[in-house]
């Protein structure tokens, strides 16, 4: 049986939607209540352009939450587990956000635009509600809102060439996560060296949604010389690289994780005197020791089709000891790989582990991340 998912008024279209449809998008997912392309029909070629050339991705669904006003820095510090003390204008940072129980509820990239003005470039959960409620309850003098900002990513070894051709040589001096306010033919945007892959690249944070189509065409034209292809954040590459995917690897409502479990423990700063949401809970969790740990998995047998989600990892006598959150066949490593969580108790016991794939048991082994 096949079925369709209707696009109702609750699902927003990206400002690049028409451009991606014109360029042959074949599948969408929903992220932050917005459609995000998931592929354009040739996933092998899309992977190859990311690894050896350059890919362009509509990542407008990575919505920005702007926090602006006299107490903006204070609110940002209270929202994230990291010490924001050394954050500078023009430098992005990866900032986990937890709830009061110490559960990760988002893992945004933070952009400090000015001393009193920040963007949280969020993963898939409602941080605008969270941040505005916390600000109001604490009596902070800030504005929390979603600005008209829509990121477009170019990723891959040739992405820098495309950025140089579009903006000039100065882009080479941008450090990782560094960004600059600029424009392209009068289209206002923030250019950052960032993106959800380990292949390098940039994100163009368009600041005028009415010019989405124009920006898409400009990037596509500049990239033509380098064989640019439209694609989407690539699950196979992210598994190979060990990047965290909030939502796929765990989310508040499904497989809730604390930062220590999901390998973001180094981004929890207890040393600074500042309080942050979840600090007390995380101190307790840390003292008790992690009960689970994020690991890589290798799954035996024939190459797996596509990218699959969420299976129990069991001992041969049927005890559930972990979860395989996402997995796929990796051509780079010539094996089926995945990421997930394992109970810290069972790991040392080096037991035989299996997953049940469509009624057939497959042997699965733990491997340290990143894969090699
Ligand atoms: N770019 C922008 N916004 C985003 C993402 C992005 N919002 C949603 C989602 N992605 C947020 N999640 C991540 C997860 C990992 C990284 C970035 C955003 C990442 N991690 C590096 C790593 O793990 O090696 C570096 C982390 C670090 O500096 O510590 O890049 O992609 N705009």
Q: How far apart are CA 282 and CA 288, in angstroms?
A: 10
Q: What is the pLDDT of residues 19-70, one digit of tens each?
A: 999 999 999 999 999 999 999 999 999 999 999 999 999 999 999 999 999 9
Pocket test for ligand 1, best of 86, 243, 245 (most atoms within 8 A of CB): 243
What predicted TM-score, i.e. pTM, was given to this entire model?
0.96
Residue 312 Cα to ligand 1 midpoint, Å, equals 27
Mean pLDDT, the chain, rounded, equals: 96
Pocket test for ligand 1, best of 34, 93, 94 (most atoms within 8 A of CB): 94
Q: Are 101 and 261 in contact (CB under 8 A)?
A: no
Q: What is the pLDDT of residues 177-191, one digit of tens each?
A: 999 999 999 999 999
Q: What pLDDT sits at residue 118?
A: 98
Q: What is the pLDDT of residues 207-246, one digit of tens each?
A: 999 999 999 999 999 999 999 999 999 999 999 999 999 9
CA 51 and chain centroid, separation: 18
Q: What pLDDT sits at residue 348?
A: 57
Compute CA distances 141 → 71, 72, 262, 275, 301, whole Å.
5, 8, 33, 18, 57
Q: What pLDDT sits at residue 349?
A: 58
Q: Does pLDDT of 281 surpass 80?
A: yes
Angle between helices 159-167 and 212-223 (to 10 degrees): 120
307 band by pLDDT with thresholds 50, 70 and 90: confident
Q: How far apart are CA 109 and CA 229, in angstroms?
A: 25
Please give the structure tokens belonging to residue 325: 């959150």
Q: What pLDDT sits at residue 217?
A: 98
Q: How far apart are CA 99 and CA 102, in angstroms?
A: 5
Q: How far apart are CA 325 and CA 312, in angstroms?
A: 9
Ligand 1 binding residues, C-beta < 6 A: 62, 94, 107-109, 121-123, 151, 194-196, 203, 243-244
Q: What pLDDT sits at residue 351?
A: 80
Nearest CA owner, ligand 1 atom 8: 123
Q: What is the CA radius of gyration of the chain?
A: 21
Q: Are 227 and 303 in contact (CB under 8 A)?
A: no
Please give the structure tokens belonging to residue 312: 């129990």
Give the mean pLDDT of 310-339. Answer: 95
Domains assigned to the chain: 17-63+148-238 (3.30.1360.120), 64-145 (3.30.70.1400), 239-367 (2.40.30.110)
**Contact residues for 222 (Cβ-Cβ < 8 A; gap 6+):** 162, 165, 166, 228
Residue 158: name the closest of 208, 91, 226, 109 by CA.
226
Q: Are 324 and 297 in contact (CB under 8 A)?
A: yes
């Amino acid at each position: 049986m096949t079925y369709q998912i209707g696009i109702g008024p609750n699902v927003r279209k990206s400002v690049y939607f028409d451009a991606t449809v014109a360029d042959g998008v074949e599948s969408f997912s929903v992220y932050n209540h917005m459609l995000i392309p998931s592929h354009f029909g040739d996933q092998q070629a899309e992977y190859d352009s990311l690894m050896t050339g350059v890919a362009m991705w509509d990542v407008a669904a990575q919505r920005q939450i702007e926090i602006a006003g006299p107490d903006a820095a204070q609110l940002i510090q209270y929202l994230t587990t990291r010490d924001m003390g050394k954050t500078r204008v023009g430098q992005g940072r990866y900032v986990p956000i937890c709830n009061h129980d110490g559960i990760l509820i988002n893992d945004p990239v933070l952009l400090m635009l000015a001393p009193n003005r920040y963007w949280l470039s969020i993963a898939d959960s409602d941080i605008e509600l969270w941040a505005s409620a916390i600000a109001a309850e604490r009596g902070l003098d800030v504005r929390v809102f979603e600005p008209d900002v829509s990121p477009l990513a170019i990723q891959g070894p040739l992405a820098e060439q495309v950025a140089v051709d579009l903006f000039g040589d100065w882009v080479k001096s941008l450090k990782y996560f560094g960004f600059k306010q600029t424009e392209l033919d009068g289209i206002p945007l923030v250019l950052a060296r960032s993106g959800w892959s380990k292949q390098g690249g940039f994100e163009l944070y368009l600041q005028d949604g009415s010019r989405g189509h124009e920006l898409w065409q400009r990037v596509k034209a500049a990239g033509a010389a380098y064989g640019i292809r439209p694609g989407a954040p690539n699950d196979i590459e992210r598994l190979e690289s060990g990047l965290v995917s909030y939502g796929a690897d765990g989310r508040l409502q499904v497989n809730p994780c604390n930062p220590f479990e999901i390998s973001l423990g180094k981004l929890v700063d207890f040393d600074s005197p500042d309080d942050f949401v979840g600090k007390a809970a995380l101190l307790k969790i840390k003292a008790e020791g992690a009960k689970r740990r994020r690991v890589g998995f290798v799954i035996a047998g024939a190459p797996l089709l596509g990218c699959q989600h969420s299976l129990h990892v069991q001992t041969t006598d049927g005890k559930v000891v972990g979860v395989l959150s996402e997995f796929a066949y990796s051509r780079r490593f010539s094996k089926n790989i995945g990421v997930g969580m394992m109970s810290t108790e069972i790991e040392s016991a080096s037991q035989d582990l299996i997953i049940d794939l469509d009624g057939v048991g497959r042997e699965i082994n733990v491997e340290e991340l990143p894969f090699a």
